[in-house]
Amino acid sequence: MAWPIEAYLEERSLELSPRTIASYRWALRDAERRIHVGISELTPLHLLGLSSSWRRNDQLLSHLRNFLRWAGHPLAERVPNGIPPETRRKLIWYTIAEF
C-alpha cells in the first residue's frame, strides 16, 4: 500500500512554505523508498534503520514523525529523536570575538 504523502502535503500546504513542503516531500518519499513496506506494516526496526541511514538528521525524522501522527500511526511517538545541526550563531560569535 502506498503512503498517503500527497494527501498529507495537500492538507499542510496552507500552513507551510513551498520550501518546507518540498523538504517534507523529499523526506517522505525517501522513507517510503528505503523502507519498502506499506505504512500499516511499519515496525520499530524500520524506523531505526531509517534513522541510521539518515544519520539521525533531526529535520528529516521530525518530518516523518509529523506525517505518522497525521496518519494516526501508533509508532509516531517511537520515531527516534535526531541530532540537531550545529547552530551557526556560535561560529559567528567566535569569529566576531576574534576581531
Q: In this predicted model, what pLDDT tens digit does every residue of 20-68 receive, in sequence order?
A: 999 999 999 999 999 999 999 999 999 999 999 998 899 999 999 999 9
Residue 89 confidence (pLDDT) above 90 = no
The structural domains of the chain, with segments of one domain joined by +, span: 5-44+55-60+71-98
* CA gap 83, 91 in Å, rounded: 18
Cα–Cα dist 73/89, whole Å:
36
Q: Buried (b) or exposed (e) across 19-47, using 16+ Cβ within 10 A?
A: eeeeebeebbebbeeebeeebeebeeebb
Instruction: State yes or no: pLDDT of 93 exceeds 80.
Output: no
pLDDT band at 97 (very low <50, low <70, confident <90, very high): low
